[in-house]
Amino acid sequence: MINTSGYAAFKSSGQLAPFEFKRRELKPNDILIEIDFCGVCHSDIHQVKNEWGNAEYPMVPGHEIVGHITKIGTAVKKFSVGDLAGVGCLVDSCRTCSNCQEGFQQFCLNGSVGTYNSLEKDGETRTFGGYSKCIVVDQDFALIIPKNLDLKTVAPLLCAGITTYSPLRHWGVGPGQKVGVVGLGGLGHMAVKFAHSFGAHVTVFTRSENKKADALKLGADEVALTNDPQKVLADHAGKFDFILDTVSAPHDLNLYLQLLKRDGKMVLVGLPEIPPNIEVGNLIFGRKTLAGSLIGGIPETQEMLYYCGVNNIGCDIELIHPSKINVAFERTLNSDVKYRFVLDMKAI
Ligand code: NAP
Ligand code: ZN
Ligand code: ZN
């Protein structure tokens, strides 16, 4: 076993503290990654606080991981010692079901293995995430990182990046389309970058007036303040082809459904702890679609990373010492982050 340390939650209070634990010895297909940076996703907060009801403690969060490989198993061909590698939300799946075979490991019919707060395929070992010094992972679930990007801005691509890239690609967002992004946080700011890069006209819906100038710099063409829903409706009703909702807390979806054109689509990626109320008439009149999307499979995550390398896209981040994680959670809850906290794991 490999000794390591990191930060863990021990109960649902939301507070993390230092934690010593062990990683498995390398199996033939495994690589050992010394973690350089790990992003702080709002899902980490939902999970630590047991807002999705499946928390097990101690829990070491973190699924936006980038680092350097320091050891490889005897069968590893994809990587060499010294290479960069990334790990997102998944570390294993059955690999044989139809979804796995088609590269949609996030929808594994036999249950994929999450990077943390999950059980390995042995049914016994709990997974621990990237708020730690190192991780052992199967090469098939590790991603190749483009060398030209600033590594600390790459970490959040492993979740915030793929979670927004995937639905924008799946629903064919591109030139000539009017796209809305609801919530300008970690996911939202990447949705703006990608939708703009794919050639769409982008409108950001935010409660935060102080993010207006940033939204335009990130690639938005317009910003709508949602504190006045009547004005939002008056200005934008019936105009959108596609809306991506990244909001982490309960809010009124009916407002945004009314902004869609006929056959418009609204996709939810934010996962608040309380289910929404939908007025079905808002879907029926206009034949509108309401859908959801979950991260992305390994092949699409790799595609997204290559796309970011070629187009020089990284995340806008605030780099912090891991000991500041509790402050980072608090500030994320207050929408006070531009636009993703990244933990400097080399500093512990
Ligand atoms: P985040 O950085 O905290 O951003 C969320 C944004 O939502 C905030 O910046 C804020 O934007 C807006 N917001 C927060 N509270 C709100 C409220 N009460 N009413 C209206 N707007 C509110 O979070 P994130 O890391 O981007 O994650 C967002 C959500 O996506 C979380 O629920 C997370 O668990 C989920 N998620 C899902 C997937 C998936 O695969 N589907 C993957 C990763 C994360 P403004 O300040 O602009 O209003
Ligand atoms: Zn995440
Ligand atoms: Zn499967």
CA 86 to ligand 2 center in whole angstroms: 14
Model pLDDT, residue 24: 97
Position in ligand 1 atom list of the atom nearest CA 293: 41
Phi (first) and psi of residue 213, to 5 degrees: -65, -40
- Please tell me whether residues 151 and 188 are part of one structural domain: no
Asked whether residue 185 falls in the same domain as residue 287, the answer is: yes
Dihedral angle computed from the Cα positions of residues 68, 328, 273 and 282, in that order, rounded to the nearest 10 degrees: -90
288 and 178 in a single domain? The answer is yes
**Is 309 among the domain residues?**
no
In a domain, 25, yes or no: yes
Domain shared by 269 and 182, yes or no: yes
Which one, of 247, 214, 207, lies nearest residue 229 by Cα? 207
Ligand 1 pocket test: pick from 246, 300, 332 the residue with the most ligand atoms within 8 Å of its Cβ: 246
Mutate to test the pocket of ligand 1, among 49, 162, 232, 335 (most ligand atoms within 8 A of CB): 335
**Is residue 24 located within the same domain as residue 127?**
yes
Q: Are strands 260-268 and 240-245 parallel, antiparallel or unpaired?
A: parallel
Low-confidence ranges of the chain (pLDDT < 50): none
Distance of CA 271 to the CA centre of its chain: 12
Please tell me if the CB atom of residue 186 comes closer than 6 angstroms to any atom of ligand 1.
yes
pLDDT, residue 323, reads 98
Q: Are residues 7 and 140 in the same domain?
A: yes
Asked if the structure places residue 196 within a domain, the reply is: yes
**Inside any domain, residue 307:** no
pLDDT for 169 equals 98
Q: Please provide the DSSP assignment of 182-199 as one string.
A: E--SHHHHHHHHHHHHTT
Chain center to CA of 88: 8
Domain ranges, residue 179? 161-292
Number of folded domains in the chain? Answer: 2
CATH code, domain carrying 85: 3.90.180.10
Does residue 271 sit in the same domain as residue 324? no
